[in-house]
Amino acid sequence: MIGEDPELEALRRSIPAFACIEGCHDCCGPVTASAQEMARLPFKPAPERDAALAAWSCPHLGPQGCQAYEERPLICRLFGTTPRLRCPNGCGPQRMIEETAENAVHAYLRRTRQVLV
């Protein structure tokens, strides 16, 4: 991938995966992402982004859930994997994210310029 960021890739791998309830979007909403993460997401025109924000939603949220799930930003990946961001439906991985990995994700988010998705 063009402009691949090894640190971002390592952070993505450090977050445990789990199956969400199909079509669920209870944890979706406006989020921020780094420029590297934004480059991975499908382009959404300003009117779509503005409408999503006005609805307190995400422009990548469709009727069946996240339309960019495989490329979702780090903050979206954290939902349900840490006691700080529990899934409202009780879903989650068998083991929560390691504290050092979660701290590394938050450090990356603080250190990189974040923009509204």
For the chain, domain boundaries: 9-16+28-116
More confident residue, 75 or 23: 75
Q: Give 64's pLDDT tier (boundaries 50, 70, 90).
A: confident
**Residue recorded with tokens 């944890």:** 27
pLDDT at 101: 98
Q: pTM for the full model?
A: 0.91
Per-residue pLDDT tens digits for 103-117: 999 999 999 999 999
> For residues 67 and 80, what is the distance between their CA atoms, to the nearest angstrom?
18
